[in-house]
Amino acid sequence: MRGMNMKLTVGKIIEVEIMDLDYRGYGVAKYNDNIIFMPNALVGEKVEIKINKVKKNICEATVLKRIETSLFRTKEQAHLGSLYLEHGTFLQQLQWQKELTKKTLEKVLKKEINVLDTVTDYNEYHYRNKVVFHVLEQSTLTLGLYQNEPIKLIKVNDFSLATPFVNEMIKKINDAQIEIDEKKFKHIVFKNNQNNEYMVTLVSYEKYFKGLESLIDLLKQQPEIIGITLNIKPNDYVILGSKSYALYQENMLKEKQFYLTDQTFFQVNYPVMEKTYELIKENVKSTHIIDAYSGIGSIGFSLINDQTKEIIMIESHDENIKIAEKIKEENNYQQVTIYQGKAEDILKKFPAQTLIVDPPRQGLMKQMVEKMLKYQYEQVIYLSCSLQTLTRDLKLLDEIYDIEKVYPIKMFPQTTSIETLVIIKRR
């Protein structure tokens, strides 16, 4: 019989029913006063589990066997670290994101939030226009990705989120048995546009490494590859460094009016990105707009129409600024003014009623929030890639702003990464 205050210990085997999925895609169960988290479990499943970690009344566990299986289960959970939701149906993934977004916001903001249905194009696989593969530490070139539990780099010959061409290429590369210096050569990055043109970036600690010529020869045989670059990374803490060298043909990809290099930021799911930008366009209520954290201007440029009076772009990264200026010049966008620097340093009382922010994962800086409160823009449109920092920032902005709409964006199917679009108005 269960005791109400029964303490769970490491190694104990029990049966539980899954009642929820957390932000990691882990199943959540209650056992008396204990909350238990475990991978590879879906809502409604009854499972036999083994307790692995205990801290007060919070436990982590491993599923030993399923006693009852969810109707939403499609397979066992993938070993690759990014595919935390692939074992459930896509419709369940959409509902999970909507419910998690609503619960997270309402818990912190202490009010009911209007969270709309999750935005998607219903394409579950092969959607990524950028994929990074890591070089395994062995003498012949072998590409891989990180798996979870235990976390380690493993060889892969295909990846369900990559395009069919990329999957063909990683198998060709692995099969070629190219001898390399694995201490110098660290990553291969594939980028593509919707015309199925590819740019490949080789990432190394040095300008030359053993096997470079052989790899270039292999890549050049593919007509889809229109450019090869070499990027020099300074340390293990970053994927890409600031220095790149063209090795073969183009060092840029064209995507409609945009230009992409190895260092420019662009959403990895182009069709869903377009849907997101259409929602921004539908909700913008001003002809004077500030596009902060503008990158290459993908949001700002997409908003230009006959009624647009002014768009002010603020961006800090040199490469993004160069591309944005190029797009502005080629399209003769007279309405656009581009400022280089940190958004929190440059933002001021521009003649604008709508402020668009699309910050990195760390969210808005405290100084940025303070200026937004000071200048009291009529409308703020916040596109976020982190639900945690978004919630933190919205709590601060709650002083003078109200949330009108929240759109969960399924930018990354099969994963727990969450994109969110929030429409905010001044009280």
* Residue pLDDT tens, the chain, 427 long: 444 557 899 999 999 999 999 999 999 999 999 999 999 999 999 999 999 999 999 999 999 999 999 999 999 888 887 999 999 999 999 999 999 999 999 999 999 999 999 999 999 999 999 999 999 999 999 999 999 878 899 999 999 999 999 999 999 999 999 999 989 999 999 999 999 999 999 999 999 999 999 999 999 999 999 999 999 999 988 899 989 999 999 889 999 999 999 999 999 999 999 999 999 999 999 999 999 999 999 999 999 998 899 999 999 999 999 999 999 999 999 999 999 999 999 998 788 899 999 999 999 999 999 999 999 999 999 999 999 999 999 999 999 999 999 999 999 999 999 999 999 999 9
Q: Is residue 55 part of a domain?
A: yes
**Is residue 80 a part of any domain in this protein?**
no
Q: Which residues pair with 340 in a beta bridge?
A: 315
Are 113 and 139 members of one domain?
no
The residue behind tokens 């961006």 is: 315
Do 279 and 422 sit in the same domain of this protein? yes
Angle, helices 212-220 vs 164-176, to 10°: value is 140
Both 249 and 332 in one domain: the answer is: no
173 in Cβ contact with 141 (< 8 Å): yes
Predicted confidence at residue 1, as pLDDT, reads: 42
Beta-carbon neighbour count of residue 85 at 10 Å?
24
Q: Is residue 201 part of a domain?
A: yes
> Is 8 inside a domain boundary?
no
Q: How many CB atoms lie within 10 A of CB 180?
A: 20
Q: Which two tokens stand for residue 324?
A: 């944005």
Q: Are residues 234 and 135 in the same domain?
A: yes
Distance CA 44, CA 55 (A): 25
Co-location of 114 and 143 in the same domain:
no
What pLDDT does 250 receive?
Answer: 85
CA distance 11 to 13: 6
pLDDT of residue 148: 83
Residues 6+ apart with CB under 8 A from 10: 51, 52, 53, 54
Domain-located, residue 417 = yes
Contact by Cβ (8 Å): 136, 143: yes
- Residue that is last in its domain, among 200, 225, 260: 260
Beta carbons within 10 angstroms of residue 198's beta carbon: 23
Return the CATH number at 69: 2.40.50.140
Do 309 and 373 sit in the same domain of this protein? yes
User: Could you give the CA distance from residue 307 to residue 3 in angstroms, rounded to a whole number?
Assistant: 68
Q: Determine the pLDDT at residue 385.
A: 96
376 token code pair:
């009291």
E strand or H helix at 145? strand 143-147
Q: Are 193 and 224 in contact (CB under 8 A)?
A: no
Residue 285 shares a structural domain with residue 254:
no
Specify the residue for token string 């249905």.
117
CA 414 to centroid of chain Cα atoms: 12
CA angle, 278 then 101 then 362, to 5°:
80
| Residue 86: both structure tokens together | 């692939």
Whether 111 is in a domain gets the answer yes
Q: Rounded distance, CA 401 to CA 426, Å?
A: 4
Q: What is the dihedral sign for C-alpha 62, 67, 72, 76?
A: positive
pLDDT of residue 2: 46
The identity of residue 195, as a single letter, is: N
Give the range of the structural domain holding residue 315, as residue numbers without chain letter: 91-123+267-426
Q: Is residue 84 part of a domain?
A: no
Closest to 417 (Cα-Cα) out of 37, 76, 41, 97: 97
Q: With b meaning 16 or more CB within 10 Å and e meaning fewer, what string describes 205-229?
A: beeebbbbeebeebbeeeebbbbbb
Question: CB atoms < 10 A from the CB of 329, how many?
Answer: 10
Residues 60 and 137 in one domain: no
Same domain for 339 and 323? yes
What's the CATH code of the domain at 219? Answer: 2.40.50.1070
Among the three residues 245, 260, 275, which one is the final residue of a domain in this structure?
260
Tell me how many domains the chain contains. Answer: 3
Same domain, 63 and 135: no
Q: Do 205 and 272 fall into the same domain?
A: no
Q: What is the CATH number of the domain that holds 275?
A: 3.40.50.150
Whether residue 134 is found in the same domain as residue 119:
no
Residue 66 lies in a domain: yes
CB count in 10 Å sphere of residue 71: 9
CB of 164 closer than 8 Å to CB of 176: no
Final residue in a domain of this structure, among 241, 260, 279: 260
- CA separation for the pair 425, 427 (Å, rounded): 6
